[in-house]
């Protein structure tokens, strides 16, 4: 991340210090790492188990080589899940990025009104996915929901929300957007507040149009901040589980069955753990590669923005 450039004065010269002091950092960091690595042993186990026919139903298991992987990669449901994952991740992330950036730009002026809004806008971000689904159920329910009553005024009756093929994705993305737009908003706003004043004053003196200022000054300078928001949002959206599970458990049909959901259902509903793991390992690879790429781009952009 951008703060990886450490200040040189925070470093201690190690050739002059005795051995017991030299190993001190490793000792200090050990408990933290042990706890985390203890949790990551399962990762190795996951790769191993993906090569077996392990199931909660069978008393024994045996090594079956790459059969799970071949089954998964030739299964059309894998590609459907992959497509749902990508569709969900991109529509949710894009909506949140655009909306969050617009609202952050609107909040730019520092008045009492915007100061209060900034605090209030952080509230949805604190809400757990399952609870967000509950809250939106109160909004969209066809019997008591206020949105249904509003739509009735416009002559739309019984809008199906999560229960129809055509609107389930929209509903899930809507809830995701409600929860997570403030995240983008906060990061972009922090970027806006860190912008230097002089280039903008110079542009205004030169009589540049607001759109030109945005295109050539604001946007490029905000880009590193937007990349961080994008990184965090895209990573989370690619593996979204809570909202979709609470909303429809992947339904109706397989409309919302992304890779996380399919992996979970294969392991626990159909009790085929060995078959579930290739799905999740592929997801892990996708997430990791995307994260590495975005982190690299972000570092480069942050350097450029600082004039390196």
Partner 1 sequence: MASTSTIKKERKDTSALVDTQKNKKAMTALESFGRNAGLCIYALFALFPLLWMILCSFKADAQMYNTVFRFTPTLDNYEAVLLGTDYFRAFFQNLIVSGGAVLLTVVAGVPAAYALARYNFKKKEDVAFQILSFKFAPEIMVILPVFLIFQKIGLYDTYFGLIWVYQLITMPLLIWVVRGYFEDISVEVEQAAQLDGYKWFNVFFKILIPLVKPGLVASGLLAFIFAWNSFTFPLVLSGFNIQTITITSLRYIASDTVHYGQVAVASVIAVLPEIIACLFIQKHLVRGLSFGAVKG
Beta-carbon contacts of 69 under 8 Å, excluding residues fewer than 6 positions away, are: 50, 278
Residue 161, classed as helix, strand or coil, is: helix
**Is residue 182 part of the contact set for partner 1 (CB under 8 A)?**
yes
- Binding status of residue 303 toward partner 1 by CB under 8 A: no
- Number of H-type helices and E-type strands within the chain: 14, 0
* Cβ pair 178, 122 in contact under 8 A: no
Residue 214: CA count within 13 A, CB half-sphere: 8
When binding is defined by CB under 8 A, the residue of 24, 165, 215, 300 that contacts partner 1 is 24
- 146 or 202: CB nearest partner 1: 146
- 119 binds partner 1 per the rule CB under 8 A: yes
Is residue 6 within the footprint of partner 1 (CB under 8 A)? Answer: yes
CB atoms within 10 A of CB 79: 11
If one asks whether residue 252 binds partner 1 (CB under 8 A), the answer comes out as: no
Tell the residue number behind the tokens 């929901």, with chain if given: 145
Among 64, 94, 127, 213, binds partner 1 (CB under 8 A): 127
Please identify, using beta-carbon distances, which residue of 83 and 113 lies nearer to partner 1. Answer: 113
Give the whole-angstrom CA distance, residue 194 versus residue 190.
6
Query: CA-CA distance, 243 to 175, in Å (whole number)?
Result: 8
Nearer of residues 145 and 199 to partner 1, judged by Cβ: 145
From the CB of 94, what's the least distance to partner 1, in Å?
17
Q: Please report which residue ranges of 50-145 form alpha helices under DSSP H.
A: 67-73, 76-106, 112-121, 129-140
Please tell me whether residue 171 binds partner 1 under the rule CB under 8 A: no
Distance CA 140, CA 207 (A): 48
CB of 96 to partner 1, least distance (A): 12
Query: Binding to partner 1 (CB under 8 A): which residues in 130-159?
Result: 130-131, 133-139, 141, 143-144, 146, 149
Residue 289 binds to partner 1 (criterion: CB under 8 A):
no
Q: Does 284 bind partner 1 (CB under 8 A)?
A: yes
Nearest residue (CB) to partner 1, 86 versus 139:
139
Cis ω for the linkage preceding 22 (within 30 of 0): no
Distance CA 176, CA 245 (A): 13
Nearer to partner 1, 97 or 277 (CB): 277
**Under the criterion CB under 8 A, does residue 1 sit at the interface with partner 1?**
yes
- Binding window for partner 1 (CB under 8 A); candidates: 69-77, 90-98, 213-221, 240-248: 240-248
């Amino acid at each position: 991340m951008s703060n990886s450039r450490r200040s040189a004065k925070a470093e201690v010269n190690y050739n002059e210090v005795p051995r017991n002091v030299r190993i001190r950092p490793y000792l200090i960091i050990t408990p933290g790492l042990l706890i985390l690595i203890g949790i990551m042993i399962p990762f190795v186990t996951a790769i191993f188990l993906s090569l077996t026919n392990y199931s909660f139903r069978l008393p024994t298991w045996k090594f079956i080589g790459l059969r799970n992987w071949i089954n998964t990669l030739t299964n059309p449901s894998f590609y459907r899940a992959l497509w749902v994952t990508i569709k969900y991740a991109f529509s949710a992330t894009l909506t949140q990025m655009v909306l969050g950036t617009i609202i952050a730009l609107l909040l730019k002026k520092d008045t009492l009104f915007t100061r209060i809004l900034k605090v209030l806008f952080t509230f949805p971000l604190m809400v757990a996915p399952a609870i967000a689904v509950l809250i939106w159920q109160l909004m969209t329910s066809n019997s008591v929901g206020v949105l249904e009553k509003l739509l009735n005024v416009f002559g739309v009756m019984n809008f199906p929300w999560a229960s129809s093929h055509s609107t389930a994705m929209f509903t899930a993305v809507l809830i995701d957007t409600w929860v997570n737009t403030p995240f983008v908003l906060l990061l972009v706003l922090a970027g806006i507040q860190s912008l230097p004043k002089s280039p903008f004053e110079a542009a205004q003196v030169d009589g540049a149009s607001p759109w030109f200022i945005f295109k050539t000054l604001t946007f490029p300078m905000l880009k590193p901040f937007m990349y961080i928001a994008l990184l965090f949002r895209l990573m989370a959206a690619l593996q979204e589980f809570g909202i979709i599970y609470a909303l429809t458990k992947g339904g109706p049909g397989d409309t919302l069955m992304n890779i996380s959901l399919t992996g979970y259902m294969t392991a626990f509903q159909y009790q085929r753990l060995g078959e579930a793991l290739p799905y999740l390992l592929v997801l892990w690879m996708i997430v990791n590669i995307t994260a590495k790429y975005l982190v690299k781009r972000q570092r480069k952009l942050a350097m450029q923005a600082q004039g390196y």
